[in-house]
Structure 1
C-alpha cells in the first residue's frame, strides 16, 4: 500500500485539490478515492475488473469512518457522461449499499447498479455475489425504480434462466449457483466444502454462452446418477442445450462408464462434457484459460490436451458410443482432417483424439476394433498405437513417439506411449 497523490504511470487525479474525493482511471474502470490517500491495492483491484459494456464501472474506496455526506464528494468526482454507473464499494458505505445506490441514482440522474452483498472476485475479472450473501446486483433508476440484475458480473446470456438461489434436486443433492453456472453437490456438508467452493468461485472459467455444471465434491459422498439426470431435465431448454458438465467428485455410475456416457444414455440426448475443470486467468499462469485434470483431493493439476467432448446416446440397447472430442490442444492442425477429431498422418496412419490422449491406427478401421476407452489420468497423457497391425506397427510407434515428444517439449505435459491391440485385421 502506498499513500499520497501519486499513482501508476500516466495516472492523474480528476478534480481540483479542494475536493475530498477524486477519480483516477484504472484499466477500463475508474477508482474514486480520497484526495491524498491513493491506495495501490485498490487501484490494482479496479484495473483488474472486466469491462462493462453498458455502464461506467466505478470502484469507490470508502474512507474509514466516512459520514453519509461523503457521497456528495463522490458525485463531484464521478466521471462525466450519460451512461449508467456500476458502483463497487470497497467497504460498506454509511447507510448501506442499497441506500447509497438509490441516492446516487436520484442525485446524478443516471442508472446506478450496485451489489447488495459482498461481490467476490472471480476468474477473468468477474464479480459474483454468493447465494446467501445478499440478493446480488441491483439496478436503481433515477425515478426510484428498483430491479434485480442477477448474481454475476459480467452478466452471461443464461443468467436469467437459472434460479438465483440454491435448490434441492433431491433430498440427497443440492444445486448451488457458482460464477460459471452450477455446482451439483451432496447435501451433506463436509469440512472440505469451503475449499471446494473457493476453487469453483475464484478460479473456474466462465463462458457467456454456456453454463458449466460441476458435478460432485471430492472427499464427499457420491452424487447419484439419477440426480444428475433429474437436474438435466430440470434445466430450461435454453440452458440444457448449452450446458457443459464437468466431473469434479464421485458419482454413482455403471462400471466402466464416464459421466457423459452414462448421462447421455439416461437422458437419451447428446451431452457435452469438459475433460476436467476449465480454469481461468488469475490462477497458475501455465494453466490459465485451460482445462485441467482434477486430483483426488479436488486440487487442479496438469493441463489436459483434450478439452471438451460430446457423448451420444446408444443406437441400440447395450451398446455404447465412444465420446467425440470437439476441442483439443494436440498439435495436429497441419494434418488433413478426415472428420472431427480424426486426422490423416501420411499414407497409412490415422491419428484420433480421445479424452485420454491419442490413438494411432491404420486408415482402414479393423473389424472388431474400437478406440481404446481409457479414463483420463491425472498424471499424464496417453498416446496409444495399434500394436496388433504387425505390418505397420513400427510406423505407428514412430508417429506416437514424435507426437509425445512434441507435446512434452511445447506444453510441458507428461506423456506415456503404449501399444494396444484392440481387434483383428480386417482382411481385404
Structure 2
C-alpha cells in the first residue's frame, strides 16, 4: 500500500509492506528484491517499526528522507513505537558536518533509532549485518533522545554463541593471531599478511545456528586450531564449522583436528564467495550472503559443490584398528548439501540442512530401483539397496572435476542407472557439466562401455581412465 506518493518524478515513494514496516523506493510499486528483503525482517516486533530504504540517496539525503517519511514517522510516533530500525546504508553516518538520518529522526520524532554506520545488509534468516571493517566505520548504532549514540554490534540479534566467542577475544596462539569476527573466529599466522586476510573475515555474515572458524591462511596447523576450539564451550565447539578463505581442501585437516579433540569436526567445502546481484547497484540496502565455490589455483570460482558441509570423525569413533592391526580407513560424512535448481525433481530435497546423514534423503526420485547420494567430490549413482563405495566417499573435491561415481564394485551396473544418469546430466548447469568426470565403480560389460561412450558424446563429459 502506497503511503506517500512522490512530489516529483525523481522523488521516491513510501509504501507499507506490513504493520509498522515501511519501504522507500522509486516507482509506483516496490521492487521484488526490496519486498523480499523486508519479508526477512517481518513481522515487526511489538513496540518496534522498520523503515527499509531501497532508493539511493544524495548529499541532502538525510533531510530529504525525513521529508519523504514524515507522514509515516508521525504515524509511528502516534502508535507509541519505542524503537525504529532504519535499514539504510550509512543511516548512522554523519557527512560534511550534517547530522545522520538516524540522528535527525531521533531528534525530531523523539524515537529511539537503530541504524548502520556502514553498509546495511540483511541475512537470509533476518539478521541485520553491517561489516565493521578495520579502519572503516560500520556496525549498528543506537540513537536515543538526549543521549550520545552508542555502537551496539556489527550484527543483530546476537546469536547464542556470540558471548563465548567474545570471551575468547583477540589473542596469539603459538605464533597465530586469533580474533573474533562477525561470523565467529578468524585465525592467521602472526606478522605481515595480505590485506584480504584482515578484511575478508569481517565481511562474512554470521549464521544464527553456528559460528565459523575461518582460516585466513593455508598455513594454520591443526594443533593451533585444536587449542582455539578447546577453549570454547562444548555446545559452541560442536556446532562450529571450519571455513577456508581460499577454498583449500580441509578434509585431511579436519580428520587431524578430530583426532586431537576426539570429537567430530564440521568442515565447509569450498571458499566463501559473494553471489552476484545480492545487492542491486545503487541500492541503499541489500541482502547479505555467501556461497561456497571450489576455486582454481588463481582463486577464481569454478563450480558450486553439491556438498556444503562434511563431518570428519576421530579414528576412535570407527574403530582405531582393523582386523590385522592396521588403522582403519575413515570416510567423511556429508551433512549439508544443495543440488542445482534444475535438479530439484531428480532428488527428494535440494537443501539438506538438519545436520544428519544425507544418504537417505538424496535418493533419485525418478526411479524406484536406484538412488543418488551426494559425496564430497560430487554424486554417486547406484542401486537403492547399496551404499556408496569407500572410494567415492574418500575422493576429495577439486575445482577441475565434478565426480560422478556409478555403481558398486563387484556388481554389474544396474539398468536403472542409465536413465538416472541421463536425467542428471541433462539437468546440470553448463559450468558443472563441462567438469563432470564419470567413474565407473561397478563392473562394465561391453554394452555398458558403449553406453558410456554414447553418453559422453551426447553430454560432453569426461570418463576416468
Give TM-score scaled by structure 1 length.
0.68
1:151 Cα deviation after fit: 0.3
Judged with a 3 Å threshold, the aligned counterparts in structure 2 of structure 1 residues 77 and 61 are, in CA distance, closer, same or farther, namely farther
What is the 5 A alignment of 1:16-415? 24-25=14-15, 29-31=22-24, 49=37, 51-52=40-41, 53-54=44-45, 55-59=49-53, 64=59, 73=67, 76=70, 78-79=72-73, 80-81=75-76, 82-83=80-81, 84-87=83-86, 88=88, 89=90, 92-93=94-95, 95=97, 101=102, 104-105=105-106, 107-115=108-116, 117-119=117-119, 121=121, 127-132=129-134, 133-134=136-137, 136-142=139-145, 144=147, 148-153=151-156, 156-163=159-166, 167-170=170-173, 172-176=175-179, 179-191=182-194, 193=196, 197=199, 206-217=206-217, 222-249=219-246, 258-277=252-271, 282-283=276-277, 291-315=292-316, 316-317=319-320, 318-319=327-328, 321-329=330-338, 331-333=346-348, 340-342=358-360, 352-359=373-380, 363=385, 372-385=393-406, 388-389=409-410, 392-395=411-414, 401-412=418-429, 413-414=432-433, 415=436
Given that 2:238 and 2:264 are in contact with CA atoms closer than 8 Å, whether structure 1 keeps it comes out as: no
Secondary structure of 1:258's match? helix
Distance 1:205 1:100 in 2: 25
Distance in 2 between residues matched to 1:43 and 1:94, nearest whole Å: 31
Give the direction of change, closer, same or farther, for the CA distance of 1:320–1:170 in structure 2 (3 Å limit): farther
Is 1:418 aligned with 2:418?
no
Q: In the alignment, is the contact (CA less than 8 A) between 1:404 and 1:416 conserved in 2? A: no
The total of aligned residue pairs comes to 382
Residue in 1 that maps onto 2:461: none
- Please give the per-residue CA displacement for 1:131-164, whole angstroms capped at 9, x wherever unaligned: 4334721223346386543102565454454339
Shift of 1:370: 6.5
Cα distance in structure 2, aligned partners of 1:150 and 1:299: 32
For 2:284, the equivalent position in structure 1 comes to none
SS at structure 2 position matched to 1:418 = strand
Range that drifts further, 207-216 or 144-153: 144-153
- Asked if 2 retains the 8 angstrom alpha-carbon contact of 1:150 and 1:160, the reply is no
**Moved runs in structure 1, 4+ residues, more than 6 A?**
42-48, 68-72, 250-253, 343-350
**Structure 2: 5+ residue runs without aligned partners?**
280-288, 321-326, 340-345, 350-355, 444-465
| Structure (1/2) with the larger helix percentage | 2
Q: When the two structures are superposed, what TM-score results if normalisation uses the length of structure 2?
A: 0.63
Tell me the secondary structure at the aligned position of residue 57 of structure 1.
strand
Contact preservation (8 Å) 1:205, 1:279? no
Aligned in 2, Cα 1:242/1:262: closer, same or farther, shift over 3 Å? same
Name the SS of the counterpart of 1:322 in structure 2: coil
Unaligned 5+ segments in structure 1 are: 1-9, 33-37, 423-428
Query: Do the aligned partners of residues 150 and 388 (structure 1) sit closer, same or farther apart at CA in structure 2, a change above 3 Å counting?
Result: same
